[in-house]
Structure 1
Amino acid sequence: MKDWWQATFPQGRQSLIISDVDGYPVQIAYGEKGTGKPLFLLHGMGSWSYNWRYSVAALSKHFRVICFDAKGFGFSDKPWLRREKNGHQVIELARVIQGLCDEPAIIVGESIGALISLALAQRNPQLIGRLIVMNAPVFAERLPHWAMEILAKTPLEVLQAIDYLRLAYWFAPLVREVMATERRKVLFDPSILTPEDVYWITYPFIELPGTLVKVAEELQIAAKEIEDWQANKPNLLSQIQTDLDKIDCPTLVLWGDRDSWFPSTHGERLHQRLPNSQLQIIDNCCHDASTGAAKEVNQAILKFLQDTNFL
């Protein structure tokens, strides 16, 4: 099967070295296409750049589109020996942006990528020219999927053993079947998920050891955040919620009307808290909007950027 990076980006998969939150060098995998203002596409939990496969060509006609895999995801480094600190994604996102461009960027974030984008807009507003957030877990009261709950409660040592023994590789057909079944549940039209899609969506979990551990570690951080939020203990989620009205950047809030993970009422609530925002509810769209409603998402992004004089 043809390499997705090579097929999608003129220079294929490239690498950027950044310092992580602890100062260690980390290799970030990314691809870029097009010229003009930089536009970053941020994936969600357990995903990687492939989730934006239907947006790169359309958006790169107008912008310099950059897809990258967050640390621990996809083809980026997965440090085994260091435990992640809460909020590390925000700091590392800033360093990726600074490493790849020298002007305010357009940030498009989906799911956890959207939450990280909101936090970045609060901490480093000078890095963002326009912000588009999709189906953000900013008001989440629980982890939205049973598999996430299991991973969040499984000791990392157990998952490291699974990775070390390459069990996902040896049971690849089963892994692909389970993940395909669950991914179809977040699509309004499950039939659009092709065998090639399933191959690439599951590739990091099967072929790149460390992926399962790092995803589980992020889920454990997320679960602890929600637990602390509900117990009124200090947490990053509450801080993001409290400071939403401080985000001045023109922002588009996109939400699927059929999102069973985070209902569209969360999108309306987010829009009300952002002083310079627009809201668009996408019809017949579940949580995975970048795949399930790519055409509508791309059109909404371009219209918003045109209306706010960024196109």
Structure 2
Amino acid sequence: MSTTETVLLIVLAGLLILLLGNIAFQVAAERKNPPIGIFIECDGVHLHYIERGDAGAPCVVLFHGNGTMIQDLILSGLVDRLAHNYRVICFDRPGFGYSDRPRTRIWTPKTQASLFAMALDQLGVRQPVVLGHSWGTLVAIALALRSGHAVSGLVLASGYYFPTSRMDFWLMSGPALPLLGDLMRYTISPIISWAIMPKLMRTLFAPRAVPPAFKNEFPLSMALRPKQLRAAAEESAFLIPAAAQLQRQYQDIRCPVRIVHGTADRLIEADQSRRLHEALPRSLLHLVENAGHMVTYADPLAIADAVATLALTAPTRIA
């Protein structure tokens, strides 16, 4: 056997070991962190969600950001805080947590909004207040723009609304590439992601410290599964084009909007929210001092208050 053949054999063996290891890691992560909610079948997609609070109260729908899942919004305290007065529904968006993300569709904000509109109809929800964090703000906006599914109001936290030059988003999209991305996701991507995760978490919460509840209870192993890494990579690739497409429709938003952003956000600059506030005459802007991208943890009370002001006119559950 030649040296080249020996090296190739070693490389293939290494890739096989990594592939099997990552499959085992994914299985172990899901056994350790079983579903915490319930499932609904909608347009051929298995969606995982939780429902809290008074079933007869006005409804608040929550959408998490890229790379996370339901547990993020639970650990922030928002779910429990809002459940005191409202019916709260929080979804794992497609590809995150335990929700499916079929590869037969391109999961833009509009595609996700269409899916969630159908899911909310099945759940008897009409004119909810919709709260989105980070990438979830685009889904919330897309839902509000749907002519057949009115919302009572939007609460948008730490969002990216206008395209800018962001090489970091493109660099994070590698695992979404066909074939090569699949190989990456089942070999080196989980290892690389695990290595950079501590620094990424500090960046997301900076200038504040990572909260102990998040550090100790967020199911990080679920976020590092190959299938969730694909969803996160796709959303990194879609972010700038999605913002470019939606910005032309912001003036068509008819419901009141509350915008929240941390002034020290190191991932998405607060100027994004300032620009959206200027583009939406009916919006109110709340900038949280000394807060980063995870403003949902920095000032959950202000976010809950923003929901409360919009929920006053929201209808109760369909009988």
One fold, TM greater than 0.5? yes
Match of residue 28, structure 1, among 22, 27, 47: 47
Structure 1 distance, partners of 2:243, 2:232, is: 19
Find the residue that maps to 1:297 and give its secondary structure: helix
Deviation at 1:239, TM superposition (A): 4.1
Instruction: Provide closer, same or farther for how the CA distance between residues 271 and 167 of structure 1 changes in structure 2, counting only shifts above 3 A.
Output: closer
Instruction: Provide closer, same or farther for how the CA distance between residues 201 and 49 of structure 1 changes in structure 2, counting only shifts above 3 A.
Output: same
Instruction: Provide closer, same or farther for how the CA distance between residues 175 and 102 of structure 1 changes in structure 2, counting only shifts above 3 A.
Output: closer
Contact 2:81 2:304 (C-alpha < 8 Å) held by counterparts = yes
1:33-84: CA deviations, max 9, x gaps? 10111111111111111121211111100101111111111211133x4352
User: Aligned letter for 2:300?
Assistant: A
Structure 1 distance, partners of 2:297, 2:172, is: 24
Deviation at 1:265, TM superposition (A): 2.4
Structure 1 distance, partners of 2:189, 2:259, is: 40
Instruction: Provide closer, same or farther for how the CA distance between residues 241 and 32 of structure 1 changes in structure 2, counting only shifts above 3 A.
Output: same
User: Aligned letter for 2:180?
Assistant: V
Deviation at 1:237, TM superposition (A): 3.3
Deviation at 1:274, TM superposition (A): 1.4
1:189-212: CA deviations, max 9, x gaps? 543333763663423234x44111
Contact 1:135 1:267 (C-alpha < 8 Å) held by counterparts = yes
Deviation at 1:115, TM superposition (A): 1.5
User: Aligned letter for 2:51?
Assistant: E
Of 135-144 and 266-275, more deviation after overlay is shown by: 135-144
Alignment of 1:220 onto 2:237: yes
Q: Which residue of 2 aligns with 1:276?
A: 282
Alignment of 1:186 onto 2:208: no
Contact 1:5 1:13 (C-alpha < 8 Å) held by counterparts = no
- How many pairs were matched up? 280
Unaligned runs of 5+ in 2: 1-28
1:72-111: CA deviations, max 9, x gaps? 11211133x4352543222222222222233211100111
Structure 2 distance, partners of 1:115, 1:248, is: 16
Instruction: Provide closer, same or farther for how the CA distance between residues 107 and 159 of structure 1 changes in structure 2, counting only shifts above 3 A.
Output: same
Aligned Cα RMSD in Å?
3.0
Contact 1:94 1:127 (C-alpha < 8 Å) held by counterparts = no
Q: Which residue of 2 aligns with 1:229?
A: none
Over the matched positions of the two proteins, sequence identity in percent amounts to 22
User: Aligned letter for 2:222?
Assistant: P
Alignment of 1:45 onto 2:69: no
Deviation at 1:277, TM superposition (A): 1.6
- Flag the structure with more relative contact order, 1 or 2, with Cα contacts below 8 A and sequence separation at least 6: 2
Contact 1:175 1:202 (C-alpha < 8 Å) held by counterparts = no
Residues 152-163 of structure 1: pairs in structure 2 closer than 5 A: 152-153=173-174, 155-163=177-185
Alignment of 1:294 onto 2:318: no
State the TM-score, normalized to the length of structure 1. 0.78
Q: Which residue of 2 aligns with 1:231?
A: none
Q: Which residue of 2 aligns with 1:285?
A: 291
Alignment of 1:252 onto 2:233: no
Instruction: Provide closer, same or farther for how the CA distance between residues 180 and 194 of structure 1 changes in structure 2, counting only shifts above 3 A.
Output: farther
Residues 18-167 of structure 1: pairs in structure 2 closer than 5 A: 18-19=42-43, 25-35=44-54, 36-53=57-74, 54-79=77-102, 81-84=103-106, 86=108, 87-124=110-147, 126-143=149-166, 146=168, 148-153=169-174, 155-164=177-186
* Superposition misfits of 4+ residues, deviation over 6 angstroms: 1-6
Alignment of 1:16 onto 2:51: no
Instruction: Provide closer, same or farther for how the CA distance between residues 197 and 97 of structure 1 changes in structure 2, counting only shifts above 3 A.
Output: farther
Structure 1 distance, partners of 2:268, 2:210, is: 22
1:106-158: CA deviations, max 9, x gaps? 100111111221122122364311211112211131447x3x43232453323
Of 153-162 and 30-39, more deviation after overlay is shown by: 153-162
Structure 1 distance, partners of 2:78, 2:107, is: 31
Residues 200-219 of structure 1: pairs in structure 2 closer than 5 A: 200-206=218-224, 208-219=225-236
Structure 1 distance, partners of 2:73, 2:40, is: 19
